[in-house]
Structure 1
Amino acid sequence: MVEVANASQAEIDWLVREDASAGEAWVSRCVALGEYLIAREAGEIVGFLRFSRFWGRVPYMDMIRVLPGHRARLLMTSSECDESRPQDWHRRNGFSETGAIELPGLQSVPEVFFIKRIA
């Protein structure tokens, strides 16, 4: 089972090595602000997600890395059914529509899901 948690100071060396383009100062800053999530499997770090916040509030995924041998074979994403441009992008990039769900009270239109098999 994969466990996901906020990164701590103890993971900074690993993150600096695996997120090499970020640099040590940026990694330390992001860890201090809680902007890294670490994935562990059997106690071993197998990946991370780094995010930031637009305007200090809206989460935005900057980088995701999963070590080889721990990567999924299927990507899944979604958009609201009335968002034609994102759906066109998904189709152009090899995603296929796999279904939709309605979320009454959460959003006014159904959510459409797309999948893409990867090697």
Structure 2
Amino acid sequence: MNMDFATEADLGYISERDKHLAKPLISTKIKAKEIYILRESNQEIGWMRFNYFWDNTPFMNLIWIDEPYRGQGFGKQVVLHWEEQMREMGFQVVMTSTQSNEEAQHFYRKLGYIDVGCLLQEKDPLEILLSKKV
């Protein structure tokens, strides 16, 4: 798997699939180098996007792997690569979150993330906040 920062050429692929991010913000995040595009044999297979919690802590917002490529370790590779990039930039802690009814919480914990809090919004499952020292 190859992982690079997304470019404007990746806009269509991401905007067709990312239902959690307003389309006008995708270009902004691409320009800010806050989206990685994942490729296998020159074919897009997913992406990961992040921002900064409290403007000072890298926060992984979403990892997406297309269905045929799931369960092959690509998600783990993405997270470890991102953590290394953040460490090289001088960050000591990274964060992410997942809803309590999603399996992702177990994935993150296996990678060393610990629960550090939660958020409860009306009509949504509990959002678990996780962090990891890098």
CA distance in 1, matches of 2:44, 2:55: 28
More strand by share: 1
**TM-score when scaled to structure 2?**
0.55
Deviations 1:21-75 (A, max 9, x none): 3122111111111110111000000010010012333110111110011012664
Gaps of 5+ in 1: 87-106, 108-119
**Structure-1 residue corresponding to 2:111:** 77
**Structure-2 residue corresponding to 1:36:** 35
- TM-aligned CA deviation for residue 13 of structure 1: 1.1
Q: What is the count of residue pairs matched by the alignment? A: 83
Which has the greater radius of gyration? 1
Give secondary structure in 2 for the equivalent of 1:38: strand
**TM-score when scaled to structure 1?**
0.61
Alpha-carbon RMSD across the aligned residues, in angstroms, is: 2.4
- TM-aligned CA deviation for residue 6 of structure 1: 0.4
**Structure-2 residue corresponding to 1:60:** 59
